[in-house]
Amino acid sequence: MRRGVRRLLLIFLISAAGSAASPQAGASTPKSSGGPLVGTWSLISRREVMSDGASRVEPSLGETPLGLIIYDDQGHMAVQLMKRDRPSSPAPAPTRAGGPTDNSDTSSGYDAYFGTYTVDASSRTVTHHIEGALSPMDVGKSFTRHFELSGSTLTLWFDTTAADGSHVTRRLVWRRVA
């Protein structure tokens, strides 16, 4: 009798865990479409390219930023970016009134978000559908990035507005680590 109760309890717990892990009604349903993007990538650089072709360090993360981006084969993604020499005291929460909507906010030299992603192979773009983020203003947005793969190097880029108001193309170069 006790074994039967234990088995029933175990089956219930496994079912409950599976239900908790499944998407909620209305949540985006991921698809396995990442192909060669699937894996873990370490950030090498994040720079801004101006309209005249000149390149400069993107200031919110500095010259030698740290970062990881992960794409799984079920259509989930997560990214974390950090300024290597970020301040030890917290900064106020980001406030971006009317700023660019194609870029996530950085707070105290840190940025992070997760969600699902879709790939458009014909246009060589990946779109991040944000479900959770460091900045509440980013939740629910979708960020589209152009991508190029060359061996174990992934380059993502997108047009945006720099902190000084100029139009730039932000380029992130990643190296595959897994």
Residues 29-55: pLDDT tens digits?
555 457 999 999 999 999 999 999 999
Does 93 fall in a domain?
Answer: no
Residues β-bridged to residue 47: 57, 171
Does 13 fall in a domain?
Answer: no
Does 95 fall in a domain?
Answer: no
Does 20 fall in a domain?
Answer: no
Does 8 fall in a domain?
Answer: no
State whether residue 20 is helix, strand or coil. helix
pTM equals: 0.74
Q: What CATH number is attached to the domain comprising 43?
A: 2.40.128
List strand residue ranges (DSSP E) for the chain, in order: 39-50, 55-57, 66-71, 76-82, 110-120, 125-133, 142-150, 153-161, 167-176
Cα–Cα distance measured from residue 69 to residue 151, given in angstroms and rounded to the nearest whole number: 17
Does 125 fall in a domain?
Answer: yes
How many domains would you assign to the chain?
1
pLDDT grade, residue 102 (50/70/90)?
A: low
The chain-wide mean pLDDT, for the chain, equals: 80
The DSSP letter of residue 93 is P
Please tell me which residue, 21 or 103, carries the higher pLDDT value.
103
**For the CA atoms of the chain, what is the radius of gyration?**
19
pLDDT higher than 90, residue 64: yes
Percent above pLDDT 70 for the chain: 70
Does 12 fall in a domain?
Answer: no
Domain of 170, in residue numbers = 32-85+101-176
Does 79 fall in a domain?
Answer: yes
